[in-house]
Structure 1
Amino acid sequence: MFAGVVVSKTMLTNQFYRRLVWPTIAPITRATRQQALNGHNHNGGSNGVLLWWSRRLMSSNNGGGGGGGSLDNNFLTAQQSLKGLTAEPDNDIKLRLYGLYKQATSGQCTAPKPSAFNMVDRAKWTAWSQLGQLSKSEAMQQYVATVNSLTGADGGGSGGQTRGQQTPNDKEDGQHLLVEKRNGVTKITLNRPDKFNAITKPMYESIASALNDAANDETIKLAVIIGSGKFFSSGNDLSNFEQAFKQFKGDMRAGTEQSAKVLQHFVAAFIDFPKPLIGAVNGPAIGIAVTTLGLMDCAVASDSAYFQTPFSSLGQSPEACATFTFPHIMGFSKASEMLYFNHKMSAAEALQCGLISRIVPSAQFDDYIENWIFGDKGLVNTCYPKSMQCSKQLVKNDSFRLKLHEINKEECDTIKERWISDECLDAIQKFLQKKK
């Protein structure tokens, strides 16, 4: 989706998962298909065809199967066991199983490398080709061991529960976004410190909802967004691509359309927020965690913070109205460094160019925010809420907000095309390969 650093392995569909068990390896003629159905369907239905076809493959690939009967049987049993899993393995394991199956039945990969645009086939090709000269028997052994670890057949498995089975996007995100109302302040805390506060799709929706709720709550004077742990936010969680891909059964364009709508709605909540909105940047900020600062009314940062928008390194384009706010705040030259050239801006540089209003020592940051907002001489006790809102309305009036909404739509229309571009898909694929 948007510029960020956290990613799942790749985007795979349920259809691809089924192909792990019954991949297309060689053409089956009408005669051999009928032979399988009529004369070799010992187990009934498609399972019989699968077993017969697997034996046919093993016979042709292993010289009739001589000397490997026990391993061959274990290999066939593992394929059947894989179909009975109650929990779907994560993508790392799917790809590994695919690569091992191909290596065991066809040997070393000699197929041409698929284009970057075809991400599923590219990921499958990589999983197979990286096995190199691994022998067929070794590939079979590793395949069997991997399946046994999933089913618990080796005594040390997880009984079908696999690493990464439940992703942040699959469950309620309340624990990943903390919303607290206190003394007239809505405090929104990004709470995924183990993932550097990368933002999932439910978090985007929850942040927008929290801002809209605070806007309509007469008891709320202002809102503040902060991160937990050492990062403010590493930006978009690129597993959002995977979730959209699965939701729309591999239709990339439908997935990007839906993602663009989520983005536009998210940014609109910042544009329309009528009360003071503060960014408390407790650590590094990347991607959309930086661009949204341009829509806030004030941002302060710890001395451990830095700011980066790596759009061109990911083959993407800016969002959150940064194409307007960044030149407006810091001038065209510095904005170009950020938006085109992936410049990593220090806290001192951000202060100098006006992206933030002050720098606070990291060790004192939490205490500073607490006193600045809630202290005896803090904002809550010294600033009348209607006065602040009237001032903001003059600074960001209706025509200004209308302009931002137009820019938001234009940016979203552009980025959804970038998400399916060769450059973006190639960049994501390279990132996946670096993570291995």
Structure 2
Amino acid sequence: MAARLAMGSGCGRTEEPRSRRMYEHIRVERTDDVVTLVLNRPETRNSMTPAMGEELASAVEEIRKDTSVRVVVLRGSGKAFSSGGDLSMLARDTGLVSGSEAPTMAGSPREFYERFLSIARLPQPTIAAINGHAIGAGACLALGCDLRVAVSTAKIGFTFTRLGIHPGMGATYFLPRLVGTSTACDLLFSGRILTAEEALRLGLVNRVAPPESFDEAVSSWAREIASSAPLAVRLVKRAIYRGAQHSLEEMLDFESLQQSWTFTTNDAREGLQAMLEKREARFRGN
């Protein structure tokens, strides 16, 4: 059974979720209504394995069911976000090495992708805090989040073709949608490495922060989003991604339905009352 997230929290207090199991390859941390998932293999620059993916998917499922969680942050432990697929795993899967000691994707690549990209299906807003280099599948994992902030020293690259393999982990889905077809071709054909500033110019990341203020930049952004009405934010997230596949007329119908429903919530009444009283709203998610 996956770790059970603590439902209650004190003001500004960091909590470890109450667990029925201990995670080995990730950490789950909580501060108020923000949960941080930490890729926790710093000795390999948080390289990605099936075991890590299983733990991440398990934690994501618990978060999905916890309506008290308003924002989810994904980051790496140590100096890297993620170096991508574990090299010993890739060596075994390409037949370069053999033997039971080497890890393997333990199934088709699709199954490997699904475990990690479970984060893309969360109803809560997600932020990839790119605290260091994000390479290959690690960079794609960051693209699976709604928002991205990178430390100014980070390097980001989709280096699949440099290894002689086809991109995976949603690279050919996420990149054209974020940066356009031509730029996606450039990045995936060449496998070149980007600086954080170039990633910002291209639209791969939303923000860049220097190392000395990176953690506060992530925390401040998460708190800002968490302070908005959580029911409305979840519906907005659903609508934005739905809008990419539907016409304007269909989205106007969808927005009308969702907005009418939010008019009936306590959050809407609190938001308008707070505006009239010239104070910050205190949304409770109902």
* 1:328 correspondence with 2:177: yes
Identify the residue that residue 388 of structure 1 maps to in structure 2.
233
State whether residues 173 and 203 of structure 1, in contact with CA within 8 Å, keep that contact through their aligned partners in structure 2.
no
Shift of 1:245: 9.5
Q: State TM-score, norm by structure 1.
A: 0.47
The answer to whether the aligner puts 1:230 opposite 2:79 as a matched pair is yes
Q: Quick check: 1:379 aligned with 2:228?
A: no
1:62-100 CA deviation, whole Å, 9 max, x = no partner?
A: xxxxxxxxxxxxxxxxxxxxxxxxxxxxxxxxxxxxxxx
State the alpha-carbon separation in 2 of the partners of residues 200 and 256 from structure 1. 7
- Deviation track 1:12-42 (CA, whole Å, cap 9, x = no partner) reads xxxxxxxxxxxxxxxxxxxxxxxxxxxxxxx
Is 1:397 matched with 2:242?
A: yes
Which of 294, 298, 303 in structure 1 is aligned with 2:147? 298
Cα distance change of structure 1 residues 334 and 242 upon mapping to structure 2, 3 Å threshold: closer
TM-score, normalised by the number of residues in structure 2:
0.69
Contact 1:201–1:240 at 8 Å: present in 2 too? no
Indicate the structure (1 or 2) with the bigger Cα radius of gyration. 1
Q: What amino acid does structure 1 have at the position aligned with 2:135?
A: I
Residue aligning to 1:275: 124
Q: CA deviation at 1:328?
A: 1.5
State the distance in 2 between where 1:356 and 1:257 align: 31
Q: Structure 1's 339 and 303: CA in aligned 2 closer, same or farther, altered over 3 A?
A: same
Q: Which runs of 4+ in 1 moved over 6 A?
A: 242-246
**What residue in structure 1 maps to residue 258 of structure 2?**
none
SS at 1:174 equivalent: coil
SS class of match (2:47): coil
Which deviations, in whole Å up to 9, do the C-alpha atoms of 1:182-230 show, x marking residues without a partner? 3122210112222211122211111122122211111111211011221
The answer to whether the 8 A contact 1:244-1:259 is kept is no
Query: Per-residue deviation at 1:330?
Result: 0.8
SS of 2:35's equivalent in the other structure is strand
Distance in 1, matches of 2:106 and 2:32, equals: 39
Asked whether the equivalents of residues 293 and 355 of structure 1 are also in contact (C-alpha less than 8 Å), the reply is: no
Which letter maps to 2:206?
S
Cα RMSD, aligned residues only: 2.8
Distance in structure 1 (CA, Å) of the matches to 2:235 and 2:212: 35
Distance of aligned partners of 1:290 and 1:241 in 2 relative to their CA distance in 1, 3 Å threshold: closer
Higher helix share: 1
Distance 1:233 1:323 in 2: 19
Q: Tell whether the 8 Å contact from 2:161 to 2:167 is kept in structure 1 after alignment.
A: no
**Helix, strand or coil at the partner of 1:396:** helix
Shift of 1:326: 0.7
Matches within 5 A, 1:105-116: none
Q: Write the distance in 1 (CA, Å) between the matches of 2:36 and 2:245.
A: 26
Residues 268 and 293 (structure 1), Cα distance of their counterparts in 2 relative to 1, 3 Å cut: closer
Q: 1:257 to 1:231 in 2, by over 3 A?
A: closer
Quickly say closer, same or farther: Cα 1:250–1:191, change in 2 above 3 A: closer
Q: 2:168 & 2:154 partners in 1: Cα distance?
A: 21
How far the C-alpha of 1:325 sits from its partner, in A, is 1.8
Amino acid at match of 1:387: A
Q: In the alignment, which residue of structure 1 is the partner of 2:266?
A: none
